[in-house]
A and B are shown apart, each in its own frame.
Chain A
Amino acid sequence: EPEVTQTPSHQVTQMGQEVILRCVPISNHLYFYWYRQILGQKVEFLVSFYNNEISEKSEIFDDQFSVERPDGSNFTLKIRSTKLEDSAMYFCASSDRGTIEFFQPQHFGDGTRLSIL
Protein backbone atom coordinates (compact mmCIF):
# COMPACT_ATOMS: atom_id res chain seq x y z
CA GLU A 1 0.00 0.00 0.00
CA PRO A 2 1.42 3.44 -0.91
CA GLU A 3 2.58 5.49 2.04
CA VAL A 4 3.84 8.92 3.02
CA THR A 5 7.54 8.91 3.90
CA GLN A 6 9.33 11.49 6.00
CA THR A 7 13.02 12.16 6.53
CA PRO A 8 14.86 12.40 8.79
CA SER A 9 13.12 10.52 11.58
CA HIS A 10 14.95 12.65 14.17
CA GLN A 11 16.58 16.05 13.69
CA VAL A 12 18.61 17.80 16.37
CA THR A 13 19.35 21.47 15.68
CA GLN A 14 20.81 24.41 17.55
CA MET A 15 18.44 27.28 18.34
CA GLY A 16 18.53 29.91 15.62
CA GLN A 17 19.53 27.49 12.88
CA GLU A 18 17.47 26.72 9.82
CA VAL A 19 15.96 23.28 9.43
CA ILE A 20 14.25 21.57 6.49
CA LEU A 21 11.93 18.63 7.04
CA ARG A 22 11.25 16.47 4.03
CA CYS A 23 8.25 14.46 2.95
CA VAL A 24 7.37 12.31 -0.04
CA PRO A 25 3.56 12.25 -0.27
CA ILE A 26 1.58 9.47 -1.93
CA SER A 27 2.23 9.87 -5.65
CA ASN A 28 -1.25 10.56 -7.03
CA HIS A 29 -2.35 12.79 -4.16
CA LEU A 30 -3.08 16.44 -4.79
CA TYR A 31 -3.24 17.94 -1.31
CA PHE A 32 -0.37 18.17 1.14
CA TYR A 33 -0.31 19.08 4.79
CA TRP A 34 1.95 19.64 7.76
CA TYR A 35 0.89 19.09 11.37
CA ARG A 36 2.85 19.16 14.55
CA GLN A 37 2.46 17.59 17.98
CA ILE A 38 4.28 19.08 20.94
CA LEU A 39 4.93 16.43 23.59
CA GLY A 40 1.80 15.82 25.64
CA GLN A 41 -0.38 18.06 23.48
CA LYS A 42 -2.80 17.69 20.58
CA VAL A 43 -1.86 17.23 16.97
CA GLU A 44 -2.15 20.75 15.48
CA PHE A 45 -2.70 21.82 11.88
CA LEU A 46 0.05 23.98 10.41
CA VAL A 47 -0.60 24.35 6.69
CA SER A 48 -2.36 22.89 3.66
CA PHE A 49 -0.92 23.09 0.13
CA TYR A 50 -2.61 22.60 -3.22
CA ASN A 51 -1.77 23.50 -6.81
CA ASN A 52 1.62 24.86 -5.77
CA GLU A 53 0.28 27.31 -3.25
CA ILE A 54 -0.80 27.46 0.36
CA SER A 55 -4.54 26.82 0.80
CA GLU A 56 -4.71 27.62 4.48
CA LYS A 57 -2.29 28.19 7.33
CA SER A 58 -2.72 28.34 11.08
CA GLU A 59 -1.60 31.05 13.49
CA ILE A 60 1.40 28.88 14.32
CA PHE A 61 2.62 29.09 10.72
CA ASP A 62 4.26 32.49 10.97
CA ASP A 63 6.95 34.10 8.80
CA GLN A 64 9.57 31.68 10.13
CA PHE A 65 7.81 28.81 8.37
CA SER A 66 7.63 28.07 4.67
CA VAL A 67 6.61 25.13 2.51
CA GLU A 68 7.71 24.13 -0.93
CA ARG A 69 7.16 21.43 -3.49
CA PRO A 70 10.52 21.70 -5.27
CA ASP A 71 9.86 18.84 -7.68
CA GLY A 72 7.11 16.37 -8.53
CA SER A 73 7.63 14.22 -5.48
CA ASN A 74 8.98 16.10 -2.45
CA PHE A 75 7.15 18.43 -0.07
CA THR A 76 9.27 20.33 2.43
CA LEU A 77 8.73 22.38 5.57
CA LYS A 78 11.41 24.95 6.38
CA ILE A 79 11.83 26.71 9.68
CA ARG A 80 14.16 29.66 9.14
CA SER A 81 15.38 30.42 12.64
CA THR A 82 14.40 27.71 15.07
CA LYS A 83 13.24 28.42 18.62
CA LEU A 84 13.13 26.11 21.62
CA GLU A 85 9.33 25.97 21.36
CA ASP A 86 9.59 24.52 17.84
CA SER A 87 10.62 21.21 19.43
CA ALA A 88 7.86 18.79 18.42
CA MET A 89 6.95 15.86 16.22
CA TYR A 90 6.15 17.12 12.74
CA PHE A 91 3.80 15.05 10.60
CA CYS A 92 3.34 15.32 6.86
CA ALA A 93 0.08 14.13 5.31
CA SER A 94 -1.44 13.91 1.86
CA SER A 95 -4.87 13.29 0.43
CA ASP A 96 -6.57 12.83 -2.91
CA ARG A 97 -9.36 15.06 -4.20
CA GLY A 98 -12.62 14.34 -2.39
CA THR A 99 -16.14 15.65 -2.17
CA ILE A 100 -18.86 15.73 0.43
CA GLU A 101 -20.25 12.54 -1.11
CA PHE A 102 -16.90 10.80 -1.52
CA PHE A 103 -14.46 11.70 1.20
CA GLN A 104 -10.74 11.10 0.81
CA PRO A 105 -8.95 10.91 4.18
CA GLN A 106 -5.50 12.26 4.87
CA HIS A 107 -2.70 9.72 5.12
CA PHE A 108 0.12 10.52 7.49
CA GLY A 109 3.83 9.81 7.55
CA ASP A 110 5.60 8.54 10.65
CA GLY A 111 6.85 12.01 11.54
CA THR A 112 10.12 13.80 12.16
CA ARG A 113 11.02 14.43 15.78
CA LEU A 114 12.61 17.90 15.87
CA SER A 115 14.70 18.71 18.94
CA ILE A 116 15.95 22.27 19.35
CA LEU A 117 18.88 22.72 21.75
Chain B
Amino acid sequence: DQQVKQNSPSLSVQEGRISILNCDYTNSMFDYFLWYKKYPAEGPTFLISISSIKDKNEDGRFTVFLNKSAKHLSLHIVPSQPGDSAVYFCAASELQIQGAQKLVFGQGTRLTINP
Protein backbone atom coordinates (compact mmCIF):
# COMPACT_ATOMS: atom_id res chain seq x y z
CA ASP B 1 0.00 0.00 0.00
CA GLN B 2 1.85 3.07 -1.26
CA GLN B 3 -0.97 5.60 -1.18
CA VAL B 4 1.11 7.96 0.97
CA LYS B 5 4.86 8.18 0.53
CA GLN B 6 7.60 10.05 2.29
CA ASN B 7 10.68 9.52 0.18
CA SER B 8 13.23 10.97 2.59
CA PRO B 9 13.86 8.68 5.55
CA SER B 10 15.94 11.36 7.27
CA LEU B 11 16.68 15.08 7.20
CA SER B 12 19.27 17.10 9.08
CA VAL B 13 18.85 20.86 9.51
CA GLN B 14 20.73 23.51 11.44
CA GLU B 15 18.95 25.19 14.33
CA GLY B 16 17.25 28.41 13.23
CA ARG B 17 16.95 27.35 9.59
CA ILE B 18 13.88 26.13 7.74
CA SER B 19 12.99 22.43 7.77
CA ILE B 20 10.97 21.18 4.79
CA LEU B 21 9.44 17.73 4.93
CA ASN B 22 7.78 16.31 1.85
CA CYS B 23 4.99 13.85 1.19
CA ASP B 24 3.36 12.46 -1.96
CA TYR B 25 0.05 10.68 -2.32
CA THR B 26 -1.80 8.81 -5.04
CA ASN B 27 -5.44 8.70 -3.90
CA SER B 28 -7.32 11.78 -5.08
CA MET B 29 -10.24 10.90 -2.76
CA PHE B 30 -8.40 11.96 0.39
CA ASP B 31 -10.30 14.76 2.18
CA TYR B 32 -7.70 15.83 4.71
CA PHE B 33 -3.96 15.63 5.13
CA LEU B 34 -2.22 15.68 8.47
CA TRP B 35 1.24 15.82 9.96
CA TYR B 36 2.07 13.99 13.14
CA LYS B 37 5.26 14.17 15.17
CA LYS B 38 6.57 11.21 17.12
CA TYR B 39 9.18 10.98 19.84
CA PRO B 40 10.63 7.57 20.85
CA ALA B 41 8.39 5.57 23.19
CA GLU B 42 5.47 7.96 22.62
CA GLY B 43 2.48 7.92 20.33
CA PRO B 44 2.10 10.21 17.32
CA THR B 45 1.19 13.78 18.29
CA PHE B 46 -1.01 15.79 15.95
CA LEU B 47 0.72 18.88 14.55
CA ILE B 48 -1.29 20.43 11.75
CA SER B 49 -3.81 19.49 9.07
CA ILE B 50 -5.05 20.83 5.77
CA SER B 51 -8.28 20.28 3.91
CA SER B 52 -8.13 19.06 0.33
CA ILE B 53 -9.87 22.29 -0.74
CA LYS B 54 -7.14 24.52 0.65
CA ASP B 55 -3.55 25.04 -0.44
CA LYS B 56 -2.00 26.40 2.74
CA ASN B 57 -2.52 26.23 6.48
CA GLU B 58 -0.36 27.93 9.05
CA ASP B 59 -0.04 27.42 12.80
CA GLY B 60 2.80 29.27 14.49
CA ARG B 61 6.12 27.94 13.22
CA PHE B 62 4.40 25.21 11.18
CA THR B 63 2.97 25.67 7.69
CA VAL B 64 1.57 22.95 5.48
CA PHE B 65 1.31 23.43 1.72
CA LEU B 66 -0.85 21.29 -0.55
CA ASN B 67 -0.40 21.00 -4.31
CA LYS B 68 -3.34 18.92 -5.49
CA SER B 69 -2.32 18.82 -9.13
CA ALA B 70 1.03 17.32 -8.14
CA LYS B 71 -0.51 15.25 -5.30
CA HIS B 72 2.19 16.64 -3.04
CA LEU B 73 2.26 18.25 0.36
CA SER B 74 5.02 19.70 2.45
CA LEU B 75 5.52 20.78 6.04
CA HIS B 76 7.67 23.84 6.71
CA ILE B 77 9.08 24.49 10.17
CA VAL B 78 10.52 27.97 10.67
CA PRO B 79 12.69 28.50 12.62
CA SER B 80 13.76 24.95 13.46
CA GLN B 81 14.48 24.26 17.11
CA PRO B 82 16.29 21.34 18.82
CA GLY B 83 12.98 20.16 20.31
CA ASP B 84 11.71 19.62 16.77
CA SER B 85 14.00 16.60 16.41
CA ALA B 86 11.59 13.68 15.99
CA VAL B 87 10.04 11.42 13.37
CA TYR B 88 7.40 13.22 11.29
CA PHE B 89 4.57 11.27 9.71
CA CYS B 90 2.43 12.46 6.87
CA ALA B 91 -1.08 10.98 6.92
CA ALA B 92 -4.17 11.26 4.78
CA SER B 93 -7.80 10.69 5.64
CA GLU B 94 -11.03 9.96 3.82
CA LEU B 95 -14.00 10.99 5.94
CA GLN B 96 -16.53 8.19 6.14
CA ILE B 97 -20.30 8.65 6.11
CA GLN B 98 -20.66 8.26 9.87
CA GLY B 99 -17.74 10.63 10.47
CA ALA B 100 -15.07 8.09 11.35
CA GLN B 101 -11.69 8.48 9.72
CA LYS B 102 -9.19 6.02 8.35
CA LEU B 103 -5.68 7.43 8.41
CA VAL B 104 -3.17 6.23 5.84
CA PHE B 105 0.37 6.96 6.95
CA GLY B 106 3.64 7.55 5.17
CA GLN B 107 6.83 5.85 6.29
CA GLY B 108 8.01 8.81 8.32
CA THR B 109 10.98 11.17 8.08
CA ARG B 110 13.44 11.46 10.95
CA LEU B 111 14.27 15.14 11.43
CA THR B 112 17.41 16.06 13.33
CA ILE B 113 18.01 19.69 14.29
CA ASN B 114 21.68 20.40 14.86
CA PRO B 115 22.68 23.17 17.29
Which one of B36, B46, B106 has the highest number of Cβ atoms from chain A below 10 Å of its Cβ?
A: B46
Give residues 101-115 of B contacting A (CB, 8 Å).
101-108
By a CB distance below 8 angstroms, the chain B residues around A109 are: 43
- Expressed in whole angstroms, the Cα–Cα distance for A48 and B104 within the complex equals 13
- The docked-state distance in angstroms from the alpha carbon of A91 to that of B44 is 9
For residue A49, which residues in chain B have a CB less than 8 angstroms away from its CB?
100
Flag whether A110 is at the interface (Cβ < 8 A).
Answer: yes
Residue of B at shortest CB range from A109? B43
Chain B interface extent, by class: 20 to 34
CB neighbours (8 Å) of B65 from chain A are none
Select the stretch in A12-20, A62-70, A94-102 that faces chain B: A94-102
Mask, A82-111, CB within 8 Å of B = 1, is: 000000000101010111100101111111
Find out whether the CB atom of A110 lies under 8 angstroms from the CB atom of B43. Answer: yes
- Number of residues from A at the complex interface, CB < 8 A: 32
- A44 close to B105 (CB less than 8 A): yes
Chain A nearest CB: distance from B85 CB in Å? 18
Chain A: CB-nearest residue to B35:
A105
Chain A residues closer than 8 Å to B105, beta-carbon distance: 42-44
Encoded as 1 (CB less than 8 Å from any A CB) or 0, chain B from 26 to 50 comes to 0000011010100001111110010
Q: Assess whether B46 is in contact with A111, with CB atoms less than 8 Å apart.
A: no
| Complex CA–CA separation, A23 to B101 (angstroms) | 18
Picked from A31, A35, A100, A110, the residue with its CB within 8 Å of the CB of B41 is A110
A48 in contact with B51 given A4-B43, A43-B44, A91-B44 (CB within 8 Å): no
Provide the residues of chain A in CB contact with B46, threshold 8 Å: 105-108
- CB neighbours (8 Å) of B69 from chain A are none
* 8 Å CB contact of B96 from A4, A41, A48: A48
- New A-B contacts (5) at CB < 8 Å, excluding given A33-B101, A108-B43, A108-B46: A48-B101, A55-B96, A95-B101, A98-B95, A103-B32
Residues of A within 8 A of B (CB): 4, 6, 30-31, 33, 35, 41-45, 48-51, 55-56, 91, 93, 95, 97-100, 103, 105-111
Q: Which 6 A-B pairs have the closest CB atoms?
A: A108-B43, A55-B100, A48-B100, A43-B105, A105-B46, A110-B43
